[in-house]
Amino acid sequence: MARTCSIADALEVIGERWTLLALREVLLGCRRFDQIVQQTGASRDILATRLRKLVDAGLLERRQYEQHPPRYEYHPTEAAKSLHTVLLTLMEWGDRHINPGPPPTVWEHSCGEVLHAQVVCDHCRQPVELGESRAVRLGGQPVER
């Protein structure tokens, strides 16, 4: 029997290349369909399907900006905005393990320094490393491996 897991459930919504790239563009401020097509390289039919799925899942909102002909922009919801850190950590991983040489894009934090995304414990503010956490059920029962 497969493990019940929020990762698997999340991947049902966002676990596809064009979906994540569309989210990246909307979070970067590209709101219009043609802009998103241009920046992602996705075909129009694939992108239309992915954007519709993101709207249906509550990650994006369609807002009409022109009436004749009707045209829409895509705006991120709070659910999409909370994926910003996921995309940053995925980019950090790609910079380290996939793209040799200097990263294709560098993000600068508001403090002025180059941003290197990492996951930290909300309680002690220490970086989370493999082996320093364990899966538990509500109530503290360990999840069997």
pLDDT over 80 (residue 143) = no
User: What distance separates the 2 farthest-apart alpha carbons in the chain?
Assistant: 58
Please tell me the predicted confidence (pLDDT) of residue 141.
66
User: DSSP E strands: which ranges in the chain?
Assistant: 60-66, 71-76
Top-confidence residue, 109 or 3: 109
Q: How far apart are CA 132 and CA 145, in angstroms?
A: 16
pLDDT over 70 (residue 139) = no
Domain boundaries, the chain: 6-83
**Other CB atoms closer than 10 Å to residue 95's CB: what's the count?**
18
**What average pLDDT does the segment 80-100 reach?**
93
DSSP letters, 90-102, are: HHHHHHHHTS-SS
Looking at CATH, the fold of the domain delimited by 6-83 is given as: Arc Repressor Mutant, subunit A (1.10.10)
* Per-residue pLDDT tens digits for 110-120: 999 999 888 99
Q: How far apart are CA 64 and CA 31, in angstroms?
A: 11
**Other CB atoms closer than 10 Å to residue 90's CB: what's the count?**
14
pLDDT over 90 (residue 94) = yes
* Per-residue pLDDT tens digits for 22-64: 999 999 999 999 999 999 999 999 999 999 999 999 999 999 9
**Would you say 30 and 39 are in contact if contact means Cβ atoms under 8 Å apart?**
yes
